[in-house]
Amino acid sequence: MSDVRVIGAGLAGCEAALTLAEHGVNVQLVECKPVARSAAHSEDGFCELVCSNSLKSKDPLTAHGMLKAELRALGSHVLAAAEECSVPAGSALAVDRKRFSETVTERVLASPLVSVKCEVASDIGEGITIIATGPLTLPPLEGKIAELFGSLHFYDAEAPIVSADSIDMSKAFFAARYGKGDDDYLNCPLTKEEYETFYEALVTADRAEAKSFEKREIFEGCMPVEVMAARGRDALRFGPMKPVGLIDPNTGRRAYAVLQLRKENAQGNMYNLVGFQTNLKFSEQKRVFGIIPALANAEYMRYGVMHRNTFIDAPSAIDACFRAKKRNNLFVAGQISGVEGYVESVASGKSAALHVLSLLGGSEPEPLPPDTMMGALARYVSAENANFQPMNANYGLLPQTEEHIRDKSVRRRALLERSLCSLNKYIKKISGEYK
């Protein structure tokens, strides 16, 4: 019989299952695929990335880089797989999503202590459980989670993917912004006239759904490009199409606007339109994005889509250990818990597993230190908040250093060092609870 049940084999669920198994815990991992899939999923493997293939910055002096440093210190299995399956993306960690999914799936299936049960979960169960079903949880479990935790939602969007051989390379150039990388991005420049034409077509294009989404229903981190553009004519030029840090070798000058494309896989035969999440009709995507010179004849391997993501009312339902307030042997992890982002989901899965290990060892779970990014995220989702929305890793979550440091890089290094120091103390303190 399994010691722990993990529902969902996404980023959080796989991290939790592999962490528990690593410490000798028998795990039953319940996954709906291939029996059933959400509208956004298409593959059978675990850890399927349905939006971007980027796990954001690797630079340890960024919030996401700091979060990765903490996960490395804790021995994250999913992050290690992502780094093994990386593709060039400048200072970002991007992965070949198919290889990444296959790698994690193989490691989960190879673990002698993880048994996989392929079914659509119909109940939460009574034993120690980690719910990691993601933002696209299927019924009937979605309804039961809503009854127990309260349910909220927002709308999320995906960016299109085009084939490399359909891009007009004579109207594009390879370079990473400010030289941070080995020409990891393919840049599609636009003149002022081309941008103006593109902009007008974008803001007047037909969308896939007639509903006018309320501002609070769209997550800022994955805002459709047409919604962003509607905020102002230059919104894209200060966002995903900003030209700064890029010199077009064909002209020797900075373009008026630039769309960046990032490799979707290791072979480099597919490219993702960076920051171009969209809810336009498929025919409109081809027409409007085709105004960008390099994409005039682009072949779309996947069009952008929008879908509803569900997350619980975390502040009223869970504590800083991702544990249900109504049931002390039930934990929640991943985007359904209110963290937003791939690496944040991995972090919540790792956190939940560590707290389960403490519980199995007879100790009361202790939240991660508040001066770590992982601990700060856990405190954010569990703190009282009448206007709760999902949250990415960011420096605003952290307590400031005792000494005010004006230099940004020095200040961020101090925050990183403080975090890793606190985390090492935490690891030593709790390790005896489950060895």
Give 90-122 pLDDT, tens digit per residue.
Answer: 889 999 999 999 999 999 999 999 999 999 888
Enter the tokens of residue 80.
């290690």
State the pLDDT at residue 212.
41
State the pLDDT at residue 32.
87
State the pLDDT at residue 2.
64
Give 31-60 pLDDT, tens digit per residue.
Answer: 988 877 666 666 779 999 987 899 999 999
- Range name among 80-84, 184-188, 218-222, 286-290 with the lowest pLDDT average: 218-222
Q: Calculate mean pLDDT across residues 14-28.
A: 97
Q: Strands of 303-380 (E only): list them.
A: 306-312, 330-332
Cα distances from 286 to residues 289, 292, 353, 420, in angstroms, run 6, 10, 44, 47
**For residue 214, what pLDDT band results from cuts at 50, 70 and 90?**
very low
Cα distances from 59 to residues 47, 103, 350, in angstroms, run 23, 24, 21
- Range name among 16-30, 112-126, 147-161 with the lowest pLDDT average: 147-161
Tokens 């005896």 appear where? 432
State the pLDDT at residue 362.
92
The helix/strand/coil state of 323 is strand
| Confidence check: pLDDT of 231 > 60 | yes
Cα-flanking dihedrals φ and ψ of residue 411, to 5°?
Answer: -65, -45
Q: Calculate mean pLDDT across residues 249-265.
A: 91
**For residue 218, what pLDDT band results from cuts at 50, 70 and 90?**
low
Report the 10 Å Cβ neighbour count for 365.
22
**For residue 188, what pLDDT band results from cuts at 50, 70 and 90?**
very high
| Confidence check: pLDDT of 1 > 70 | no
What's the mean per-residue pLDDT of the chain?
A: 89
State the pLDDT at residue 280.
93
Give 285-307 pLDDT, tens digit per residue.
Answer: 999 999 999 999 999 988 888 87
**Max Cα–Cα distance, the chain, nearest Å:** 67
| Confidence check: pLDDT of 211 > 70 | no
Q: Which long-range contacts (CB under 8 A, 24 or more apart) does 119-123 make?
A: 119/30, 119/32, 119/35, 120/32, 120/35, 120/36, 121/7, 121/30, 121/32
State the pLDDT at residue 269.
82
Give 344-397 pLDDT, tens digit per residue.
Answer: 999 999 999 999 999 999 999 999 999 999 999 999 999 988 778 788 898 889
| Prediction pTM value | 0.76
State the pLDDT at residue 50.
81
- Cα separation, 279 vs 285, whole angstroms: 9
CA end-to-end span of the chain? 20
Give 125-150 pLDDT, tens digit per residue.
Answer: 899 999 999 877 888 888 888 888 88
Q: Quick check: 98 and 35 in contact, CB under 8 A?
A: no
**For residue 433, what pLDDT band results from cuts at 50, 70 and 90?**
low
State the pLDDT at residue 213.
41
| Confidence check: pLDDT of 215 > 50 | no
Ramachandran bin of 74, using left for φ above 0, alpha for ψ from -120 to 50, beta for the remaining angles: alpha
Q: Quick check: 316 and 158 in contact, CB under 8 A?
A: no
Q: Calculate mean pLDDT across residues 410-426.
A: 95
State the pLDDT at residue 42.
64
Give 319-346 pLDDT, tens digit per residue.
Answer: 999 999 999 999 999 999 999 899 999 9
Give 72-94 pLDDT, tens digit per residue.
Answer: 999 999 999 999 999 999 889 99
State the pLDDT at residue 20.
97
- Cα separation, 427 vs 129, whole angstroms: 23
| Confidence check: pLDDT of 219 > 60 | no
Tokens 């009223």 appear where? 316
- Range name among 50-54, 172-176, 340-344, 413-417 with the lowest pLDDT average: 50-54
**For residue 221, what pLDDT band results from cuts at 50, 70 and 90?**
low
State the pLDDT at residue 216.
43
Cα distances from 190 to residues 161, 236, 409, in angstroms, run 19, 12, 33
Helical (H) or strand (E) element with 80 = helix 77-84
All domains in the chain, ordered by first residue: 4-154+310-434 (3.50.50.60), 161-304 (2.40.30.260)
